[in-house]
Structure 1
Amino acid sequence: MTDGSSSGGGGNVVNNALFGAPNKNLQNATIVSAENFGYTVNCPPVAVRPGTEEFKVLAPGKPDPITGAGPPVVYQVAITDTARECFKAPGGGVTVKLGIKGRVASGPAGKAQTVNVPVRVVVMEGRDKVLKSELHRIAVPLQAPELAADFTKIDESIVVPISEGNTDFHIYVGLDDKATPAKQRRS
């Protein structure tokens, strides 16, 4: 019976088949990681605030008196993904590189235009202390024939005074439809 390892010290046969045989030149190498330097950087969590992940802009007008159908959609905006990366800040704390991805799509009343998407980033300490609240306007051109486009926003201005194991900080993102003119917002 065999244990799956080769007689020459080449490691597990299945492991070698999947990942390749061990490199003998790296057997005594030092693996470099944050742990080797005595610190790790904890990233605060990022979440999209419920209710702010999308909104629609409607054409002016009133509901159809016969069908009750509302005015048609001019365009709608949605956040589709977020990501973050953290680094130890030179003056202490943590610098957060935040990425936000979304999409704008025209509706039945849509046309070629540039939409200014209002994305808000809020950094909180605990549940009630706002450290930062910033509104970013992202110009998204909608061009024929698709009349839809993706957008991204990278924010590298977030610094939190966070230390190892500290989970008191949270980052929230969302579409601030209150920054859209009231007459155009969803009903």
Structure 2
Amino acid sequence: MSYSKVRFVPALFGAALIAGCTSADPGAILNSGASPQQQAIDPVTNAAVVQGACPTIELREGTAFYRTYEKGGEGDPSKVIHQASIADTTRQCVVNGDQITATVVASGRVVAGPAGKAGQVEVPVRVAVLDGENVLYSELQKQPVFLPDNQPTTQFVFTNAAVTFPASASRTAKILIGFDPGPYNTP
């Protein structure tokens, strides 16, 4: 191929791209033969669904770590049974009519302390959805974690797939996740 033809190819590609950007279906130029993406339909209303925003997920200050102590050993490092930490979080939202259902996931680690031993431990994880000061959802769950023999540390993945709140709050609400040693029957 001659040099003049090689110089012509980028100009031709650029022209096609500009033409695609000004057409009714810009993807048609680069994806000839591909069908346009179909819009989701709500099965209840049979109307087109416009997906809302999925709120951000945050760790509330002081809730990324959790320690348990032997009875009467609160605050004594030699009496720590185990310590847990949350390393990463994510969420995914689906609009169902006028509600959003979010799947909230956190990954973390549990480390046995000086007073710890192998076996199952439970760490308390709370997921809450706040819109300003209004609590739209709150649930505290016990996450079981198994510490294997001869391994003082293990990882865990917490999942709550039933976090539901009004879709109207999707752009102003935030999802909070973290350890909460409080009672399980309070919001």
- TM-score of the two chains, using structure 1 as the length reference: 0.70
Q: Give the match for residue 55 of structure 2.
A: 44
The Cα offsets for residues 134-158 of structure 1, whole Å up to 9 and x where unpaired, read as 1100111111111222112221212
Matched residues in 2 for 1:29 and 1:114: separation?
Answer: 52
Structure 1 residues 43 and 143, CA gap change in structure 2 (3 angstroms) = same
Q: Give the match for residue 109 of structure 1.
A: 115
Q: Report the alpha carbon displacement of residue 88 of structure 1 after superposing the two structures with TM.
A: 1.5
Aligned: 1:120 with 2:131: no
- TM-score of the two chains, using structure 2 as the length reference: 0.70
The Cα offsets for residues 64-95 of structure 1, whole Å up to 9 and x where unpaired, read as xxxxx743432100011111111121x32321
Matched residues in 2 for 1:144 and 1:179: separation?
Answer: 30
For structure 1, list consecutive stretches of 5 or more residues without a partner in the other structure. 13-23, 64-68, 181-187
Q: Give the match for residue 83 of structure 2.
A: 76
Aligned: 1:176 with 2:183: no
Superposed CA RMSD in Å reads 3.6
Count of residue correspondences: 163
Identity %: 30
Structure 1 residue ranges (4+ consecutive) displaced by more than 6 angstroms after TM superposition: 6-9
Matched residues in 1 for 2:98 and 2:69: separation?
Answer: 47
Matched residues in 1 for 2:140 and 2:63: separation?
Answer: 13
Q: Report the alpha carbon displacement of residue 119 of structure 1 after superposing the two structures with TM.
A: 0.3
Higher helix share: 2
The amino acid across from 2:171 in the alignment is T
For structure 2, list consecutive stretches of 5 or more residues without a partner in the other structure. 1-5, 18-28, 41-47
* Partner residue of 1:146 out of 151, 160, 165: 151
